Amino acid sequence: MYLLSGLVAKLEPKLLAELKPGTRIVAHDYGFPKWQPDRTVRISKTYLLYVAPANVAGAWRIDAPTLSMARGRELALDLKQHYQQVSGGVRTQGGFLPAFEARLHGERLHFVLVDDDRSHRFEGTVRGDVIEGVVRYGYGPKLAEEPWRARRVMTVQ
């Protein structure tokens, strides 16, 4: 994009609504006012790279049998989102497990949950109202990997 700041601001909602997650947008000098770029490069001019994020905000039912608190039942994953910045965690009967190192790059979601003093690294691909991927836990020779899945039960705008 090589547009003035006023036009960039007007174009942002349309781009976010219509572009496929993972689509790259390169802006010359004038970026989106509220959206932090994924990367900035300065070579006599400023170039800003934006990667269209998937919509992950809302409540999800997560099936991750590796988590000790799950005991064969689905858990509630609550996510908040501001463009590619994600926060939240898993609600449990005993409280709340915050998601650490949460990040969203296009349709790829990553976060870490700590359960029973063991970290679980979740990686998944967002496809509409479903996230599927793998969770890695343990360390050294006891490193294990299992599939996990989440389905959206409530969307937040």
pLDDT digits (tens, 9 = 90+) for 31-49: 999 999 999 999 999 999 9
What CA–CA distance (Å, rounded) separates 107 from 6?
28
Structure tokens at 23: 């689509």
pLDDT of residue 32: 92
> Within this chain, do residues 41 and 87 fall inside the same structural domain, yes or no?
no
Q: What domain range is 22 assigned to?
A: 5-51
Structure tokens at 90: 């898993």
pLDDT at 71 over 90: no
> Within this chain, do residues 131 and 65 fall inside the same structural domain, yes or no?
yes
Type of residue numbered 154: M
> Within this chain, do residues 127 and 108 fall inside the same structural domain, yes or no?
yes
Q: State how many domains the chain has.
A: 2
- Give the end of a domain, one of 15, 31, 51: 51
What CA–CA distance (Å, rounded) separates 56 from 105?
11
> Within this chain, do residues 9 and 31 fall inside the same structural domain, yes or no?
yes
pLDDT of residue 74: 67
* CATH number for the domain harbouring residue 80: 2.40.128.30
What CA–CA distance (Å, rounded) separates 57 from 152?
9
What CA–CA distance (Å, rounded) separates 77 from 19?
25
Between residues 105 and 2, which one has the greater pLDDT? 105
pLDDT at 23 over 90: yes
What CA–CA distance (Å, rounded) separates 53 from 40?
17
What CA–CA distance (Å, rounded) separates 146 from 122?
10
Rg (CA), the chain: 18
